[in-house]
Structure 1
């Protein structure tokens, strides 16, 4: 097979990448904790790279001028195999074989302005445009308005940390890292609030409409979303989600759209690990789906461990099912493992391996894919999440799809693309 004829080149490139850097000072745990505290204080909450709203509270500092922030990754990959990226046909998670060296280009650029009233209320106005060529992110490759909203906190004396907003925003998009999977996603236009205090527990709630393509209005699909969080028990951080989808009169005559959909989920964080369970009815990742006669169930576990002061390992494993009269019943399970080594405060080496399987119930076929990526990194700091980062990588992988559709005679369409990609890119959130 062509893939294995190219393996010597892949190994040569990988060896060159891995030789960079030299062993340096041990990992400074105190410095890491101080940096995390600084980042959490800056955004008034948990630091992550999902571009969730920076929810203000009564203690938030009001910066001068315009705050420039965002997320982006751009680069080029040289394709020497059948496919530039590795994926599995029918997968319920598009990047379940692993994200490292397997990502599309794009970015999100955000500008925000904060204000403080004479009585102490803190306001912000946020504007974002994004640029994604990947059809899973956008309808085309153009620049689009993704956010334009205003919000305020400390407007009720009894609820100083309650943040109320209205407009267009990224909305309820929790994510797992190594597979870059938004296991809920309800971006849209509407209004809501974060951090309503209920005797020590906090409630988030919103009602949003899905944007109609690149237009300024909605398409008639709506979501009422909620999250109950702030429950900590002996090192366990627990959160619950409940969402309800519905439609307006605009879609009343559309027989392909269900009247309603719902999701319930629990998210548990403990000792650097995260476990997720989610059930969806007439939906999968979003209650906007309003897809009749389907159910989806997800179990996901991910996190990481430090092995030595310089070495660590990250992982992600998930099992998801999609069943119903309107879909091809299947189970999707995947595992991704990423050992990392930090040579010093600048250079690191990552090796990511992933395996993804789609197993159909009523079709005598199983699809699978695997990939291995070696990445030599140059970053602004010595943590695995330090950004900006430059990556020089090589990816090798293969998909074995026994079913991608049916021919007129009832036989199965198949595909067996291999991948060998050498590339360079930057990734940053700021």
Structure 2
């Protein structure tokens, strides 16, 4: 017994050392931007975007302090199998005062299990809240394919000719569904869930230096038991995406075609708003964007896009982004 007690402090010290080494293995990634500006006529900086546009040009046109603090750690590893825990906390303030308090947003908190299925090597099982395979035009801060949110999925299943990914995510709309109380008056839900089911096939080699990604998303409103949607609600919808990526001049060019219907025409990115009234219709988008490096010091980013939302209610919109160019010096940011 005395021998066991004498060994205990040493065992505790060794365990503490192992835990300390593991604590130092936390992965940190971050993003932050902050600045200040004035208008020519006086007053604070005014950021703007074109009428009907869903995004703004980033360079010199961001009026807030925004940051993301991303922490993650590998929790377990045995051979090729592993579990990884990932988090992301973001916040934004309006650049008005020295002290600006705000509630942070928990953007990501998920667990990822890699190579857990022996007959699906290279695949990843995940569950939780995450940014899921987002596609964007960086120079105008526009996400054209983004179903991020709480969910679960299986991604990067190697089929030999491409990689298959399956996911389901959820977001909510305020109100949108109702039931009847005991006195036959309408009782509205505070929020109504919307589910999105996503299938993607990526890495399809089409030509030297070129790959194709295809995807389909189905979104629907999912009211709780005994609740119903308002008359005229779009209920559900689809979005189809095809994206060709070509390596060019040390960079890339992406050509994208998307088509969406009904509930998927609100955000036009893959999120569903199935409780929205008079939202039935369609959206078509044709987009070309990319970046290239001329040498170690100079590069170029560009975008051209046409988007048309045609709703049955005649309340659609058309968004043109003609050829827009941004020169870059050094690393792109």
Q: List gaps (5 residues or longer) in structure 2.
A: 1-21, 95-100, 175-189
Q: CA contact under 8 A between 2:121 and 2:158: conserved in structure 1?
A: no
Distance 2:68 2:191 in 1: 21
Report whether the alignment pairs 1:209 with 2:185: no
Report whether the alignment pairs 1:75 with 2:35: yes
Q: Which residue of the partner structure matches residue 303 of structure 2?
A: 316
2:255 to 275, 284, 301: 275
Q: Deviations over 1:337-365 (max 9, x none)?
A: 1123x4xxxxxxxxxxxxxxxxxxxxxxx
Q: Which residue of the partner structure matches residue 60 of structure 2?
A: 101
Q: CA contact under 8 A between 1:244 and 1:287: conserved in structure 2?
A: no
Classify 1:149/1:229 alpha carbon distance in 2 versus 1 (closer, same or farther; 3 Å).
same
Per the alignment, in what secondary structure is the counterpart of residue 178 of structure 1? helix
Q: CA contact under 8 A between 1:210 and 1:218: conserved in structure 2?
A: no
Per the TM alignment, residue 192 of structure 1 is displaced from its structure 2 partner at its CA by 0.3
Per the TM alignment, residue 63 of structure 1 is displaced from its structure 2 partner at its CA by 10
Classify 1:118/1:64 alpha carbon distance in 2 versus 1 (closer, same or farther; 3 Å).
farther
Q: Which residue of the partner structure matches residue 126 of structure 2?
A: 165
Q: Which residue of the partner structure matches residue 186 of structure 1?
A: 147
Classify 1:204/1:133 alpha carbon distance in 2 versus 1 (closer, same or farther; 3 Å).
farther
Per the TM alignment, residue 148 of structure 1 is displaced from its structure 2 partner at its CA by 1.2
Report whether the alignment pairs 1:262 with 2:238: yes
Per the alignment, in what secondary structure is the counterpart of residue 76 of structure 1? coil
Q: Deviations over 1:132-176 (max 9, x none)?
A: 358xxxxx9521211111110111222221100011112242111
Distance 2:24 2:280 in 1: 52
Q: Deviations over 1:209-245 (max 9, x none)?
A: 11578xxx98411000121101123211110111000
Per the TM alignment, residue 116 of structure 1 is displaced from its structure 2 partner at its CA by 3.1
Report whether the alignment pairs 1:121 with 2:81: yes
Q: CA RMSD in A?
A: 2.6
TM-score normalized by structure 1? 0.58
1:241 to 194, 210, 215: 215
Range moving further from structure 2, 304-313 or 265-274: 304-313
Q: List gaps (5 residues or longer) in structure 1.
A: 1-61, 135-139, 343-381, 386-430
Report whether the alignment pairs 1:223 with 2:210: no
Q: In terms of Rg, which structure is larger?
A: 2
Per the TM alignment, residue 265 of structure 1 is displaced from its structure 2 partner at its CA by 0.7
Per the alignment, in what secondary structure is the counterpart of residue 77 of structure 1? coil
Per the TM alignment, residue 119 of structure 1 is displaced from its structure 2 partner at its CA by 5.1
Per the TM alignment, residue 307 of structure 1 is displaced from its structure 2 partner at its CA by 4.3
2:316 to 329, 335, 350: 329
Q: Which residue of the partner structure matches residue 49 of structure 2?
A: 87
Q: CA contact under 8 A between 1:133 and 1:142: conserved in structure 2?
A: no
Per the TM alignment, residue 205 of structure 1 is displaced from its structure 2 partner at its CA by 0.9
TM-score normalized by structure 2? 0.74
Q: Deviations over 1:376-415 (max 9, x none)?
A: xxxxxx4224xxxxxxxxxxxxxxxxxxxxxxxxxxxxxx
Report whether the alignment pairs 1:299 with 2:296: no
Q: Which residue of the partner structure matches residue 383 of structure 1?
A: 331
Per the TM alignment, residue 255 of structure 1 is displaced from its structure 2 partner at its CA by 3.5
